[in-house]
Chain A
């Protein structure tokens, strides 16, 4: 029972991270109809950016790298990382994707793979982040907020609700709620949805398509940065930028977006949690060695049964 509950808590925390990243994929796909392969590398930038900022800012403010600074420092680093990644996202769209707005989708996909490779390997260079893993200084104390005990003697277990899990869940949820508000309640959101529905018509209606696309990229990148920051809060040892772990993380988030129905904002959130649950419970009850296999198997199954995803709608190609 306590094991189940503990897995549940992890799944919720991880699920909100996947959802956060999946939103970036789904927004770009909704508007430009291509997989932004480089999105996972923005998450990496967010993680490594948070690290670089921390090791520079903390000593400057007079805090040691081992002690936990006040909450506002963590918030500031989160914000700076988001702004940094937003700027990178803007630049990538402007330089690599915008010239291909009318090109076949495959070309854009190949470009996205190129951008992804570029970010990974530039990040690995010794004068950028380097090619070895680092340890993130603790910005939050991971103390137990609540502890429950179950059973007695041999089978005694404890259920711990940790600070970091709660922070991840609340930060991710509030960011997603802000997103929801932006997309469904503001003029900008209407413009985004209009561009997503039909770019040409939106342009004819006087919607500044380029600006909307830029904004989408900035927004998605900022969410990715937040996800990167939250990940290093939970798992403080950061793998090097080109490590498979990052690519797999991004892929799973993308799978979440596809499973939920790509292009659908709510679907991305749903997909994020579905993936996390399958992965965490599969890892716990079957074997943790195959956790990636569960996710991809689920993806293939869902695509074969309902290619448009759980909440997606099918589009017919006009003949």
Chain B
């Protein structure tokens, strides 16, 4: 996997005429926008997320961060612009097609399947790549049994990595809040994504939990070689783990860069402190 990344990088270096232009973008978002009945919720949003990159998306409440996620995952169709994942165009895909293509997400307001068990929540996400049909299910063909058993083992392994295997048979709704947030991430990973979108994963967690979360997000990125885009209100957490940050305000990208750059950008400071842009 590593060699292929290098190969791609080298190739892009050749084209760009220098290796300095940074890594090849896995997820390439070009100027997408959407408006709801005249309200421009997101305008000309662009993002180049490299393989295994860990980027952040921040901005005041109502800035359009979740709308960006909804655009990326096909919940909303963008009015303009293009989304490309690897060599694949995603623009107008349905949510399940986009998940199959390799973008998985968590939700700001936890959306687990409450009356399914923890294991079944993970299995549900993992079955995406099943190949057996309805008939094999009904007659329980060998192929079906093999795939289901493999799915069960994989799901249990995932739970084990996140130390939730003991709760596998419990109902998802019986988990503690922190565990539910964790299960959302596990579930997204079970779809086997190339890009993982985390929508405020630290919301409602206490400081220790937040610290652990920051660690595990990094580990997830390293372990699963997945690119992560993170919406978060907790600035220290974002600044600590993200390589690059995009700042949205009123649907417009007002700043983009490394944490240090973004932190010192007067427009960002103005947006967060509420001063008018004219003064900045």
With an 8 A cutoff between CB atoms, is A66 at the interface?
A: no
A91 CB, min distance to chain B CBs, angstroms: 34
Q: How far is the CA of A316 from the CA of B66 in the complex (A)?
A: 14
Contacts of B107 in A (CB 8 A): 319
Q: Which residue of A is nearest B108, CB measured?
A: A319
Q: Which residue of B is nearest A314, CB measured?
A: B37
Interface residues of B in 174-190 (CB under 8 A from A): none
Q: Which residue of A is nearest B36, CB measured?
A: A316
**Contact, CB under 8 Å: B36 / A319:** no
Q: How far is the CA of A316 from the CA of B39 in the complex (A)?
A: 14
What sequence of 0s and 1s flags, for each residue 45-88 of chain B, a beta carbon within 8 Å of any chain A beta carbon? Answer: 00000000000000000000010001000010000000000000
Q: How far is the CA of A315 from the CA of B66 in the complex (A)?
A: 18
Q: Which residue of B is nearest A317, CB measured?
A: B75
B36 CB, min distance to chain A CBs, angstroms: 7
- The count of residues in chain A whose C-beta lies closer than 8 Å to any C-beta of chain B is 2
A185 CB, min distance to chain B CBs, angstroms: 27
- Measured as residues with beta carbon below 8 angstroms from the partner, the interface class of chain B is under 10
B104 CB, min distance to chain A CBs, angstroms: 15
Contacts of B75 in A (CB 8 A): 319
Contacts of A316 in B (CB 8 A): 36
Q: How far is the CA of A135 from the CA of B272 in the complex (A)?
A: 75
A250 CB, min distance to chain B CBs, angstroms: 33
Contacts of B36 in A (CB 8 A): 316
Interface residues of A in 253-281 (CB under 8 A from B): none
Q: How far is the CA of A319 from the CA of B67 in the complex (A)?
A: 9
Q: How far is the CA of A316 from the CA of B36 in the complex (A)?
A: 10
A29 CB, min distance to chain B CBs, angstroms: 22
B66 CB, min distance to chain A CBs, angstroms: 7
B277 CB, min distance to chain A CBs, angstroms: 29
B240 CB, min distance to chain A CBs, angstroms: 28
Q: Which residue of B is nearest A316, CB measured?
A: B36
Q: Which residue of A is nearest B70, CB measured?
A: A319
Interface residues of B in 201-240 (CB under 8 A from A): none
Q: How far is the CA of A319 from the CA of B75 in the complex (A)?
A: 8
Contacts of A319 in B (CB 8 A): 66, 70, 75, 107
Interface residues of A in 282-319 (CB under 8 A from B): 316, 319
B39 CB, min distance to chain A CBs, angstroms: 12
B112 CB, min distance to chain A CBs, angstroms: 15
B164 CB, min distance to chain A CBs, angstroms: 25
B197 CB, min distance to chain A CBs, angstroms: 12
Q: How far is the CA of A54 from the CA of B38 in the complex (A)?
A: 57
A135 CB, min distance to chain B CBs, angstroms: 53
What sequence of 0s and 1s flags, for each residue 106-126 of chain B, a beta carbon within 8 Å of any chain A beta carbon? Answer: 010000000000000000000
Q: How far is the CA of A319 from the CA of B111 in the complex (A)?
A: 9
A312 CB, min distance to chain B CBs, angstroms: 14
A313 CB, min distance to chain B CBs, angstroms: 9
What sequence of 0s and 1s flags, for each residue 138-150 of chain A, a beta carbon within 8 Å of any chain B beta carbon? Answer: 0000000000000
Q: How far is the CA of A319 from the CA of B72 in the complex (A)?
A: 13
Q: Which residue of A is nearest B107, CB measured?
A: A319
Q: How far is the CA of A319 from the CA of B200 in the complex (A)?
A: 13
Q: Which residue of B is nearest A313, CB measured?
A: B37
Q: How far is the CA of A237 from the CA of B182 in the complex (A)?
A: 66
Q: How far is the CA of A316 from the CA of B70 in the complex (A)?
A: 12
A314 CB, min distance to chain B CBs, angstroms: 10
5 contacts between A and B (CB under 8 A): A316-B36, A319-B66, A319-B70, A319-B75, A319-B107
Q: Which 5 pairs from chain A and chain B are nearest by CB?
A: A319-B75, A319-B70, A319-B66, A319-B107, A316-B36
